[in-house]
Amino acid sequence: MKNSIKNTISRANALELLQDPTYFDKDILDLSMLEISKIDDFAFSALNLKIKKLILPKTLEKIGQSAFMLNKIKSVVLPFGLKEIGESAFENNLISKLEIPSTLKMIDNSSFAFNKISKIDLESWVDKLGYDVLESNPLDELIFRKKEILLDNFAFATNEPKKVHIWGDFDLSSNSKSIEFSTLTLDFYKNFDLFENSNSLEIEFGDLFRILNSFKWINLEQIVLHNNKYTNKSDIEQIDLTFFVSNYELNKAFNLKVQLEQEFEKELKII
């Protein structure tokens, strides 16, 4: 069987592999023995296999559209060397953990929609995200390791994260006066009525608006901006700013009602 597959797993190959206990046994689909670079569109799609663990070949470079859709896959490790995942490739499974290899620069439309992923760390090498990449996942934490990422307006349209972290080189200013910070936290404090003397601010986020507008805010607890210019530099004092947010209006200029730990002007700008 191994020798009959040349570089690519087709739908016909997939059906044969599933009949061979060398590759599929006790709910484990182990393709690591195959030296192939591509899995075709729909190769293992909609077979309802109940795969506890999927082991992919180290030589794999491309996974086709809907290749593993609807198989109740619980665990998969994406190999280093993987360069492309097609649309809906792992849609409708039970995957709970996702780590992105440094060779994978783009995540296509609905690639991991309808799974069980609660946290995703978009490493600095991820350049582009399609729409609904994690649709209907129980996503609690969303991490962007860089702010310069090209993402569809509906990348996380159905997701309601509690915590969002964004890394980047940030500049904060008020009336053209620069303000240094290591981290800036927007804390959506649930008991805001306990505070007095609240203020209103308008924060202009510039290009960062694309990220902030890509997910739902209904369950947000924190948004944290990590400033690469100052974070984890031993020779620079770490300045952590916190804005406690009671209500907001998200548009090109972000309007907040906040409780501040220090005085600011009415307008801030972050780029």
Q: Which of 40-54, 174-188, 226-240 has the lowest mean pLDDT?
A: 226-240
For range 199-221, the mean pLDDT? 80
pLDDT band of residue 209 (cuts 50, 70, 90) is: confident
Q: Name the burial class of residue 73, with classes exposed (0-12), middle (13-18) and buried (19+) by CB atoms within 10 angstroms of its CB.
A: buried
* pLDDT in the model for residue 6: 82
Does the model's pTM come out above 0.75?
yes
Residue with token string 């399609």:
130
| Per-residue pLDDT tens digits for 114-147 | 999 999 999 999 999 999 999 999 999 999 999 8
Hunting for tokens 């053209």 — which residue is that? 176
Chain segment 149-176, per-residue pLDDT in tens: 999 888 898 999 999 999 998 887 777 7
Q: For residue 20, name the pLDDT band (cuts at 50, 70, 90).
A: very high
Instruction: Map out the domains of the chain with their CATH numbers.
Output: 1-159 (3.80.10.10), 167-271 (no CATH)
pLDDT confidence of residue 153: 82
Give me the pLDDT at residue 269, please.
Answer: 56
The answer for residues whose C-beta is within 8 angstroms of residue 210's C-beta and 6 or more apart is: 151, 153
